[in-house]
Chain A
């Protein structure tokens, strides 16, 4: 492949990587916005279930974006001939991503509670208060981990932006 085409592929993959992270954060904000009415036991049940379905779907998209951010990033390392663990800023980015994986593992058990419990309530389960309480408890319990993920994503994005170099002159673009 000629250098110009290789460079174009690199820029495209870099753009995809950045857009994936931006979309990940945006969709996570949407999930957060949706969750308020879902955990409100006084809200209309049908509306809560519909919101939970949408939230579950968006959460699925978030999961795919999260999972494929790593291989796209590794592809970028390959395209730029950068070993996976080299510069300090890239090492810290990888570390923050690893912490996000830990947060995702911690959140895994509570991720389906809302939709499952709301469907049970709709089906006539007698322990409505208990099911609603579990929805609220699980969602509130997960919030700190969600905020940690957001903070790490923002820091990782800033670290990347302030370490972007002009490919020709090799000067930092934003500092």
Chain B
């Protein structure tokens, strides 16, 4: 359980930090495909982690995965 929480916190913090860093680099030096893709994917990961971390912190149970 601890590892799962750590993972989602990592995705949240890492996603937003790296995504915003890429965005800032893009505005400073231009949006090449590498910087553009970096900002997109990292921010998407950070955004995806927000509801999960919210559920973790609020103690709400997650929906079971369907596959």
Interface residues of chain A, those whose CB is within 8 Å of chain B, are 60, 63-64, 67, 70, 83-86, 88, 91-92, 94-95, 98-99, 101-102, 104-105, 108-110, 138, 141
Prevailing SS type, chain B contact patch: helix
A99 and B42 CA atoms in complex are apart in Å by: 9
Could you list some 7 contacts between A and B, CB below 8 A? A84-B18, A85-B26, A91-B22, A91-B38, A95-B38, A101-B45, A110-B67
Interface residues of chain B, those whose CB is within 8 Å of chain A, are 3-4, 6-7, 10-11, 14-15, 18, 21-22, 25-26, 32, 34-35, 37-38, 41-42, 45, 48, 65, 67
- In the assembled complex, the CB of B24 is this many whole angstroms from the nearest CB of chain A, namely 8
**A85 with B22: CB separation less than 8 A:** yes
Q: Which residue of B lies closest to A110 (CB)?
A: B67
Q: Which residue of A lies closest to B23 (CB)?
A: A85
- In the assembled complex, the CB of B55 is this many whole angstroms from the nearest CB of chain A, namely 14
**B67 with A94: CB separation less than 8 A:** no
- In the assembled complex, the CB of A173 is this many whole angstroms from the nearest CB of chain B, namely 23
A141 and B45 CA atoms in complex are apart in Å by: 22
**A64 with B3: CB separation less than 8 A:** yes
**A102 with B45: CB separation less than 8 A:** yes
**A67 with B25: CB separation less than 8 A:** no
Q: Point out the residues of chain B lying under 8 angstroms from A110, CB to CB.
A: 65, 67
